[in-house]
């Protein structure tokens, strides 16, 4: 536990045990530093953390005082739910992602795994096989819901997890993003409230922006995920039309919900009859014995389970799907109005590839390599980053969430790094709030070469420079 964290825990405990009451002023930074023997910076970091979690409030010149507690709701702090009526983030995300196109960049901000991990030769063979298969009859098949064999293979992969999903409820889409976006559209109207995590995948924010939806952000812990009490509070206080969540290796924070929590989540949403749009694109990249199940495994009803092959196989094919239950037809109709369907030869080539045993072999290798590279990269980050930087590492996937002292602005860090040909994914991408302006996401899927180590050192000195100026 970092020093500031122990101070945070200590003060929380004091508030809960009644040492501090609502309105009480906390000791000044200087006084607290003297009392605790910690640096001024560490105390500031702790106070800011308490503030961001809603335990204290600050007013300029008058210091930090204890925030009013929530009534009825047990431990969820007041800022656990935040609402926003108009999202405007796409321009920023566009600029950040465009920067990753440059092959000369050291792309810590890249969204996909290192492309050199794709099974290119085997994919090539499947493309060739699909080319041979391209017949008149499957040429006619360019309408939703997509290729029959591919949908049937996907259904069989669900069956292997013990999930009973009919091919009839599966719609093939242009990556998971189209699946998520059509799913959300099928159950909402502009102006509706939608629940999302905070921090959340930026695609959720973009889709809310595009569809004119209002967001309820539920505070989400980098280890434990969403607080279900806060979720229920949001369901009680707002007419919520959908909930968009990642249950496995959440992007950007990295946590995987436990089976118990998934079950509780599903029960809660069913009680309030709110559809769940489940983004589950990383679950094949687990690390450990068992593939984590999606929430949909704990109750089919009203859950649209969205996934793709973009993270586990190859990014550029743009093939995803949704297991949409009773929304399957509505989603097909929405798809017909926009993209019609995805490329037929690519669907065929995936069907070919997946019907061989290559995919399981590939996944085993991919998991091992991603795990190894993450370990190496994290070690390097720990070695070079300032000691009051918090590196949140979770099992599986290839993202690491880095939390800097509150006074560091990762948007500035992003621009400074860009000038040095390094990209990061700044916290601003993952929320419409300012609460992650001191965080960023790092892609650990690339080999830790010398240039990458140098880039980590460079990031570190850019961070240090900000800390020195603060």
Q: Closest CB to its own copies among 81 and 176?
A: 176
Identify the bridge partners of residue 214 per DSSP, sorted by sequence position. 193
Contacts of residues 257-262 at CB distance under 8 Å and 24 or more positions apart, as own/partner, are 257/225, 257/295, 259/293, 259/298, 261/225, 261/228, 262/293, 262/294, 262/295, 262/297, 262/298
Per DSSP, helices labelled H in 217-343 are: 228-237, 259-271, 328-336
Question: Binding residues for its own copies, per CB under 8 A?
Answer: 90-91, 93-94, 97-98, 100-101, 103, 107, 110, 112, 115-116, 118, 120, 123-125, 127-128, 130-132, 134, 136-143, 174-175, 177-178, 181, 190, 206-207, 209-210, 212, 314-319, 332-334, 336-346, 349
Smallest distance, Å, CB 446 to its own copies? 11
* 409: CB partners within 8 A, 6+ apart: 437, 438, 466
Smallest distance, Å, CB 64 to its own copies? 39
CB atoms within 10 A of CB 112: 17
Tokens at residue 70, please? 């929530």
Smallest distance, Å, CB 229 to its own copies? 32
Smallest distance, Å, CB 120 to its own copies? 6
Tokens at residue 335, please? 């798809």
Stretch (H or E) spanning 443: strand 439-443
Smallest distance, Å, CB 119 to its own copies? 11
Q: Closest CB to its own copies among 319 and 404?
A: 319
Smallest distance, Å, CB 283 to its own copies? 20
Q: Closest CB to its own copies among 53 and 423?
A: 423
> Which residue bears the tokens 């910076």?
41
Q: What angle do CA 85, 86, 87 make, to 5 degrees?
A: 125
Q: Closest CB to its own copies among 256 and 341?
A: 341
Q: Closest CB to its own copies among 323 and 346?
A: 346
Smallest distance, Å, CB 214 to its own copies? 16
Tokens at residue 170, please? 């599966």
Per DSSP, helices labelled H in 37-168 are: 40-52, 90-99, 120-133, 136-139, 148-160
Q: Closest CB to its own copies among 78 and 329?
A: 329
Smallest distance, Å, CB 414 to its own copies? 17
> Do residues 307 and 320 touch, judged by C-beta distance below 8 A?
yes
Separation in Å, CA 387 to CA 3, 5, 403:
10, 13, 11
Q: Which residues of 306-342 are buried (b: 16+ CB within 10 A; e: fewer)?
A: bbbbbbbbbbebbbbbbbbbebbebbbebbeeeeebb
Q: Closest CB to its own copies among 174 and 266?
A: 174
Tokens at residue 333, please? 């109709």
Smallest distance, Å, CB 419 to its own copies? 20
Smallest distance, Å, CB 91 to its own copies? 6
Counting every residue written for the chain, the total comes to: 470
- Rounded Cα gap, residues 114 and 117, in angstroms: 6
Q: Closest CB to its own copies among 94 and 272?
A: 94
Q: Closest CB to its own copies among 125 and 161?
A: 125
Q: What is the DSSP letter of 222?
A: T
- Rounded Cα gap, residues 106 and 137, in angstroms: 45
Smallest distance, Å, CB 335 to its own copies? 10
Q: Closest CB to its own copies among 36 and 142?
A: 142
Q: Closest CB to its own copies among 184 and 246?
A: 184
């Amino acid at each position: 536990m970092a020093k500031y964290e122990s101070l945070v825990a200590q003060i929380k405990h004091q508030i809960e045990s009644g040492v501090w009451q609502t309105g009480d002023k906390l000791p000044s930074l200087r006084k607290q530093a003297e009392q605790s023997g910690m640096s001024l910076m560490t105390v500031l970091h702790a106070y800011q953390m308490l503030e961001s979690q809603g335990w204290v409030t600050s007013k300029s010149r008058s210091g930090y005082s204890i925030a009013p507690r929530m009534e009825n709701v047990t431990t969820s702090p007041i800022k656990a739910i935040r609402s926003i009526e108009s999202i405007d983030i796409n321009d920023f995300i566009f600029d950040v992602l465009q920067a990753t196109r440059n092959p000369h960049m050291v792309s810590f901000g890249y969204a996909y795994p290192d492309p050199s991990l794709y099974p290119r030769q085997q994919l090539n063979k499947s493309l060739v096989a699909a080319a041979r298969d391209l017949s008149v009859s499957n040429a006619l098949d360019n309408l939703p819901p997509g290729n029959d064999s591919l949908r049937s293979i996907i259904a069989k992969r669900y069956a292997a997890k013990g999930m009973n999903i009919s091919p009839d409820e599966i719609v093939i889409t242009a990556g998971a993003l189209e699946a998520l976006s059509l799913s959300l559209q099928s159950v909402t109207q502009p102006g509706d409230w939608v629940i999302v995590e905070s921090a959340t995948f930026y695609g959720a924010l973009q889709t809310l922006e595009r569809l004119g939806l209002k967001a309820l952000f539920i505070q989400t812990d980098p280890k434990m995920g969403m607080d279900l009490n806060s979720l229920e509070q949001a369901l009680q206080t707002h007419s919520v039309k959908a909930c968009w969540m990642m249950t496995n290796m959440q992007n950007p924070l990295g946590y995987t919900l436990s089976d118990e929590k998934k079950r509780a989540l599903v029960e809660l949403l069913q009680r309030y009859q709110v559809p769940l749009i489940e983004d589950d694109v990383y679950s094949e990249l687990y690390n450990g014995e068992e593939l984590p199940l999606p929430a949909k495994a704990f109750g089919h009803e009203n859950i649209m389970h969205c996934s793709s092959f973009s993270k586990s196989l190859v990014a550029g094919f743009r093939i995803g799907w949704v297991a949409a239950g009773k929304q399957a037809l509505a989603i097909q109709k929405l798809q017909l109005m926009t993209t019609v369907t995805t490329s037929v030869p690519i669907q065929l080539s995936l069907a070919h590839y997946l019907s061989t045993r290559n995919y399981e072999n590939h996944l085993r290798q991919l998991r091992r390599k991603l795990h190894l590279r993450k370990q190496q990269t994290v070690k390097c980050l720990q070695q070079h980053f300032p000691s009051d930087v918090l590196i949140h590492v979770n099992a599986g996937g290839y993202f690491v969430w880095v939390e800097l002292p509150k006074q560091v602005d990762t948007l500035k860090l992003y621009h400074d790094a860009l000038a040095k040909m390094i990209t990061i994914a700044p916290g601003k991408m993952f929320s419409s709030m300012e609460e992650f302006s001191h965080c960023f996401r790092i892609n650990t899927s690339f080999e830790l070469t010398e240039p990458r180590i140098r880039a980590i050192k460079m990031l570190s000195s850019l961070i240090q420079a900000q800390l020195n100026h603060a």
